[in-house]
Amino acid sequence: MVILQPSCLCSLLISLMFILMVSVSAVDPYTEALLSLKSELIDHSNSVRDWILPHTAEMNSSSEVIHACSWQGVKCNANSTSVIGIDISAMNLGGVLSGKQFNLFSDLVDFNISHNSFSEKLPIALFNLSNLRSLDISRNNFSGQFPGGISNLKKLVVLDAFSNSFSGPLPRDVSEIESLEVVNFAGSYFDGPIPSEYGSFKNLKFIHLAGNFLSGELPPDLFNLKTVTHMEIGYNVYEGSIPWQIGNMGEIQYLDIADANLSGLIPLQLSNLTKLESLFLFKNKLNGQIPWELSRLGSLKSLDLSDNLLSGYIPESFSELKNLTLLSLMYNNMIGTVPEGIAWLPNLDSLLLWNNFFSGSLPEDLGRYSNLKYLDLSTNNFTGNIPPNICERGVLQRLILFSNLFTGELFPSLANCSSLVRLRLEDNSLTGEISLDFSNLPDLTYVDLSRNKLVGGIPSYIAQASGLQYFNVSNNQELGGMIPKNIWSLPNMQNFSASSCKISGDIPSFENCKYFTVIELKKNDLSGILKESVSNCHALLQMDLSWNNLTGSIPEELAALPVISVLDLSHNMFRGPLPKQFGNSSSLKQFNVSFNDISGNIPQGNTFRVMDGSAFLGNPKLCGSPLRHCQSLMPNELEIGSRRTQKLAWVLIACAVTVLFVTFTIFAIVYLKRSANGEWKMVPFGELPQLTSTDVLRSLNSIESMEMVQSPSGSAACKTVLPTGLTVSIKKIEWETKHMRGMLQYLSKMGDARHKNLTRLLGLCYNRHLVYLLYDSFGNGNLSERIGEKRDWSAKYKIIIGIAKGLCFLHHDCIPAIPHGDLKSCNILFDENMEPRLAEYGLGALFQLKKEGLATTIKEQLQMDIYNFGELILQILTNGRLNIAEAASQNSRRESLVRETLIENDITCSGLLQSEIEQVLEVAFLCIRSTPENKSSMEEILKLLSRLQKQKKHQTLK
């Protein structure tokens, strides 16, 4: 071993210091400034790993050359003597920028730090970059007021500050930059009015201010922007009407002022905008008629005036809009017919007119000359036949015509409409046979033909509908026929409903029915036995076979189904004992076997312990709690004597007096209640047994059966046991007679909503002043109560995907859409399988109906649902530590969230799991930062999450 002498060691240290001094002195100031910037970055992904000093031997002796020119994201001029561009966008960077380095970059032309997580205030030193032409700080978390001084950037062409957390007023001095062509301040929290100075831009082509809290009246000067081609200023809370000066923007091609609280008439001057291609004014309070002058907009492709207060007719002149692809007038008060000329528009692919008062027949040629993909005319008063050429072009995907007065037969042209995905024709007066050739409908997933007058039975070739998930033909009173033998073999079917259809014959053997969740066949003429093969229906939640002629015994396999929740076998001819497994079923909530020929003992167990006897009535050979005791007295045990007879007589008299007194008291109470509040009425939904309002009120008045609880929303609620033994949660709402009709219609829509991730609205009990909402009751608490529990990643993912599925069903499968309106952790309940169930959905819009008589916040609440879902994801990932989405997006870095979640789930170093968590986290931020410019639907969000699920399965298979 060589031991250095002190003199040698000293010489070595001096040499190292000299080399270090030479190295430092050789670093150019631009490189030093960028290294200083790097020191402020939070870069867990190591995105700027090449921002390092080169080796001494590789350093150019020329001090004019900038060493950083070779670094990622750094652009220099031709001879590498000046930095002209910095682009570190989408590098997963964070931190707080001081801006102290920026003064050096006087030649900088482009500066892009978008799609990162920089936070706190925007450094004012940016505005010293006098040669800057493009400044992109979008999709970050900068907060506070936008700093003054941006007018110093005299050469700026593009200013993109989209999707941050700025607050306070919009900066006025930005209007002093004459060179600006793009201004984007959308997706923050700016408030106050739009400065009138924003109408003075000389070269502006694109302006986006949507998705803030801007208020006040729209300044008429704003519409002096004669060079603008794209304007989005909606999703704010303005006052007043649209100024007539809007007609001055002669170059405008895209105009969006949706969801902006605007009122008044649609200005005629809009017809001056002859280059306009897209006009979005939906979700406002615009009234009056649609000006026929809009037909002058020959370039128009998309026209959305939905969700307003418009009245009158569709202008006949709209037949001149030959470029129109979208016409949406839904949710208005419009009347009249659809003009014939609408059918001749060659490019029309979406016609959305639902929830109006349109009437008359549809144009005969509708679908013949245009590539119709989406046609929704539901909830109107249309009559006549469905146009025979509706799918002639072969691209129709959604045909939604429910709740009208259509007559005639299902037309042959629809039978071969291979593009069809959803078909909803329920609640009309259609006749004839179900003439759908399911073998030619590969993409068909949803069919609802209920509440019509169809005949001829369910076609046997329905078994060829491989993609079908939902099929409902209930309440076609003369449909007849038999259940197709292969119906249970449909690979994707979940809901099969054919109640009140006069269907006869046996129920086919339940082979391969593993995905069925709902089977409804009540009020038919079915006979034969219920086969043991029902054991194959592992996913079955609800079965209703009541009011038929079924015989034989109730199979034990039915009682053993793992998730069966609702079972109604009443009014049949079943015989023999009840399977003992029913007594201890953990999933069964509603059960009815009344009016059969069942004998023996009622099984003991938790399921039937609190049930009312009405679930078992009409079975004289059945005994046990809650019916009579099974031990009966023998004749020789009776004592017949005068003393016993006298005692019995006195008992009978006492009982009679008591009964008379109780009856009189009940009649007095009922009379007083009716005189004060009006007669009580009961509306059951779907599987709720035939209860009366008296049953519900009696349960509410019973101290033994009622438990006061706190509803998820914080309002008073109670839990009670109905006479059937079903435990329900009841929410009380006060209303006024003038709002009853609208609220009842809305509640009926809510009552029809059925999904495994929703708490079911089981029924209503109401009078003129009160309504009791009867909901499913679950005993496993809610997400808020259990948010801090230790869960592995798969359990967290299960909760997230379940919430997403329930929300997607409300937004996209319910027509009209039902917003949750108050999505938060306490409104996520857990069922017996710890599956998340959305509670109290739709009540926000319901209270709006109660308040104003009109739901004016549907779209706003749908968007807020998506935001709240993103916040819920963050809460689940962090075990409830982050419960404010803004705090999560501003003060916590995504890398930290991933790291914390990995630690909480005891995941050390797993690339796959870490990737999954990062992807779900990205979905959360996509929801939170979703704005009108970048709107994400729940359908798209669920696809992103489901794609991750498919990846997991693929990895498992590999």
> Catalytic positions, please?
822
Backbone angles phi, psi at 717, to 5 degrees: -150, 170
3-class DSSP state of 102: helix
The residue written with tokens 């969740």 in the block is: 517
Q: Is the peptide bond before 932 cis (omega within 30 degrees of 0)?
A: no
Q: Is the peptide bond before 816 cis (omega within 30 degrees of 0)?
A: yes
Yes or no: say if 88 and 140 are a contact pair by the CB < 8 Å rule.
Answer: no
Yes or no: say if 680 and 747 are a contact pair by the CB < 8 Å rule.
Answer: no
Yes or no: say if 232 and 253 are a contact pair by the CB < 8 Å rule.
Answer: no
- Which tokens is 340 given? 């014939």
165-168 and 446-448 beta bridge pairing: unpaired
Residue 398: enclosing H or E segment and its boundaries?
strand 398-400
Residue 858: enclosing H or E segment and its boundaries?
helix 858-877
3-class DSSP state of 684: strand
CB under 8 Å to 480, separation ≥6 — which residues?
455, 456, 457, 501, 502, 503, 504
94-95 and 566-568 beta bridge pairing: unpaired
Counting Cα atoms < 13 Å in the Cβ hemisphere of 625 gives 10
Residue 280: enclosing H or E segment and its boundaries?
strand 278-280
Rounded Cα gap, residues 418 and 397, in angstroms = 9
Rounded Cα gap, residues 233 and 231, in angstroms = 6
Rounded Cα gap, residues 583 and 597, in angstroms = 19
Query: CA–CA distance from 213 to each of 185, 233, 283, 529, 859 (Å)?
Result: 12, 11, 16, 64, 16
Buried b (16+ CB within 10 A) or exposed e, 259-272: bbbbeeebbebbbb
3-class DSSP state of 256: strand
Which is nearest to 723 in space by CA: 742, 749, 748, 705?
705
3-class DSSP state of 183: strand
Rounded Cα gap, residues 213 and 209, in angstroms = 10
